[in-house]
Amino acid sequence: MKDKEGTMNELNSKDIANALQANVKLILEENKKVADKIEYSQIASVIPFIQNAERIFLIGAGRSGLALRSAAMRLMHLGLTVFVVGEITTPAIGKGDLLIAASGSGTTSSIVKAAEKAVAAEAKVIALSTTATSPLAELAMHVAVIPAAQKQDHGTTISEQYAGSLFEQFILLLTDAIFQTLWSIDGTPAEELWKRHANLE
């Protein structure tokens, strides 16, 4: 392995710029492929669950969790009561509530355990996953399948990106699309939604 100076000499700024451009194109193309393959009827079925929930809880591990935090913020802007699992102020889940759980494999132990507890508390569970056959899927009332690579799929058939990046990226895009759809149904002007934005920052 070359030192930093040697690497910089070998890869000049133009090479790096070209590599960045190529990788942005790769990421966008892979997300478009997922967008073209996904069953939107499965996603449409998520909307009534959100609309009818008394409270919404979101859980995901790692980067999937970060994507769901973004979704939680947007759902809050719509005036929904939203909690991110693991935050110190997140209350107990119960009957009438909805847990939205993201796990590419559907086997992440912390996600599956949370889903088990939600079901035991008579809450509903929605799964965002790459597969409809998993421990998480068995607990969910509905599974929205995202045809992206799982973290340990190190081949390049589905994605050339590293460790489930495509799934995590598409979670963000998909939940933004869900927000946009809910917003169009709700019809509240953007100026009104913005009044709910954090003002203690």
Q: Which residues are catalytic?
A: 168
Question: How far apart, in whole angstroms, are the C-alpha atoms of residue 98 and residue 46?
Answer: 11
Measured CA to CA, the distance from residue 101 to residue 115 in angstroms comes to: 8
CB atoms within 10 A of CB 41: 8
Q: Which amino acid is at 46?
A: V
Q: How far apart are CA 155 and CA 109, in angstroms?
A: 24
Contacts of 132 (CB under 8 A, 6+ apart): 143, 145
